[in-house]
Amino acid sequence: MSVRVVARIRPLLKLELDKDSIVTAAPAGNETVGSPTVVRIPNPKNEGEHFSFQFNSVYDQEATQQDIYDYEVAPTVKHLFNGFDTTIFAYGVTGTGKTHTMRGGKSLADRGVIPRLLSSIYRRSRKIEKDSRGSTQVEVAMSYYEIYCDRVYDLFEPPEKRTPSGLPIRDNNGKTVVVGLTERPCTTLKEFEQLYDQANVNRSTSATKLNAHSSRSHAILCVKVTQTTETHTRISTASAIDLAGSEDNRRTENMKDRMVESASINKSLFVLAQCVEAISRKQSRIPYRESKMTRILSLGQNNGLTLMILNLAPVRSYHLDTLSSLNFANRTKKIEVCEVENEPVLRNIKGKLSATANITGSNIQRQ
């Protein structure tokens, strides 16, 4: 099991163009050039200080959907076809670009990680079938569900047909399964996209019905790849998760429903962060059984790969939430004191960042 944690800072939106970007990407350690691996953010209590958080990689405002896919997700496809499960999370405050990163827009350039991943899975499947002259067959099937207030709802079910208590989960030979979850075969990208779009409509309708914005549920897409030869069958799953917003709702709203939601979101995100940290430190005990989401995903059980994309907004209105996201994803941070404002920062922090402990354990190299 290995885990990679990367940060993506979204660009300023149209309404934010007159605002400052206070969250920036910087190269690590003594480097002044090279791919950024550090996120810098001012200390809200003292603007003369900056906090630095180190990640496996950091994508700045210029990074395209294609960059994220090519550097972070494309390398996982090989592992998937080698029989390992892969899991990709988008973590962050509402409005930071989780859905943009995972699903993206309609145009080719705007497509997010999920349609690109599927496109690549189909391409590779066709190649495997062709190269084996038809003796290997690859089948792709999907399930798509959301976890809201610790209940599991099938996104292929129209909201009016759902049982309010959600689908039960059960242990099956050490693996947790959702009982009664729809699994739909999809043989082409087009078929996948139709099913995915339809399920996303169910997601937004159910959000309205439950009087909750979709940002309060985790949306989990599982793509099962089955490779069959004459002698054996190999099954692996790629999971792509658009997590509930990590903001602290208690700060702004204190209605009872919101408190219940917040408690379950906070708990599951907390357990997720603990799992990611335990995996990255190669600890033998991964607390994945402590939340429904990590349990269903069996996070830590399989010999799989996990990628967590931490989505960040650059503007000041997100300052405290951004800081808590960063603290959550990486509890080891460095403080730099900038004597003079706007002085080139890297000169000040030489030698400090290289000592920053970070989340390691990744075995995927940026290509």
27 binds, among ligand ADP, Mg ion, none (CB under 5 to 8 A by kind): none
Residues 211-250 that bind Mg ion (CB under 5 A): none
Cα distance between residue 329 and residue 76, in whole Å: 21
237 binds, among ligand ADP, Mg ion, none (CB under 5 to 8 A by kind): none
Q: Which residue is nearest to Mg ion (CB)?
A: 99
| Pairing mode of beta strands 218-228, 137-148 | antiparallel
Q: Based on CB atoms, which residue is closest to ligand ADP, 4 or 100?
A: 100
Q: Shortest distance, CB of residue 239 to ligand ADP, whole angstroms?
A: 17
Q: Based on CB atoms, which residue is closest to ligand ADP, 4 or 98?
A: 98
Q: Based on CB atoms, which residue is closest to ligand ADP, 125 or 215?
A: 215
Q: Rule CB under 5 A: choose which of 52, 99, 249, 356 binds Mg ion.
A: 99
Of the chain, the end-to-end C-alpha distance in Å amounts to: 20
Q: Shortest distance, CB of residue 11 to ligand ADP, whole angstroms?
A: 5
Q: Shortest distance, CB of residue 253 to ligand ADP, whole angstroms?
A: 16
Cα distance between residue 149 and residue 261, in whole Å: 5
Q: Based on CB atoms, which residue is closest to Mg ion, 147 or 225?
A: 147
Cα distance between residue 50 and residue 41, in whole Å: 5
Q: Based on CB atoms, which residue is closest to Mg ion, 205 or 301?
A: 205
Classify residue 162 by its DSSP letter.
Answer: S
Q: Shortest distance, CB of residue 30 to Mg ion, whole angstroms?
A: 38
Side-chain half-sphere CA neighbours of 81 within 13 A: 20
Q: Shortest distance, CB of residue 198 to ligand ADP, whole angstroms?
A: 20
Cα distance between residue 98 and residue 68, in whole Å: 12
Q: Shortest distance, CB of residue 60 to ligand ADP, whole angstroms?
A: 10
- Exposure string of 225-257, with b = 16+ CB inside 10 Å and e = fewer, is bebeeeeeeeebbbbbbbbbbbbebeeeeeeee
Q: At what angle do helices 256-280 and 319-329 cross, to 10 degrees?
A: 40
User: Which residues of the shown chain bind ligand ADP in the complex (CB under 6 A)?
Assistant: 10-11, 13, 92, 94-100, 215, 311
Q: Shortest distance, CB of residue 120 to ligand ADP, whole angstroms?
A: 20
83 binds, among Mg ion, ligand ADP, none (CB under 5 to 8 A by kind): none
Q: Based on CB atoms, which residue is closest to ligand ADP, 213 or 352?
A: 213
Among residues 243, 161, 155, which one has the least CA distance to residue 199? 155
Side-chain half-sphere CA neighbours of 97 within 13 A: 27
**Which residues on neighbouring strands pair with residue 218, listed in sequence order?**
147
Q: Based on CB atoms, which residue is closest to Mg ion, 98 or 218?
A: 98
202 binds Mg ion per the rule CB under 5 A:
no
95 binds, among Mg ion, ligand ADP, none (CB under 5 to 8 A by kind): ligand ADP
- Exposure string of 50-66, with b = 16+ CB inside 10 Å and e = fewer, is bbbbbbbbbbbeebebe
311 binds, among ligand ADP, Mg ion, none (CB under 5 to 8 A by kind): ligand ADP
Among residues 1, 4, 89, which one has the least CA distance to residue 284? 1
Q: Which residues bind Mg ion (CB under 5 A)?
A: 98-99
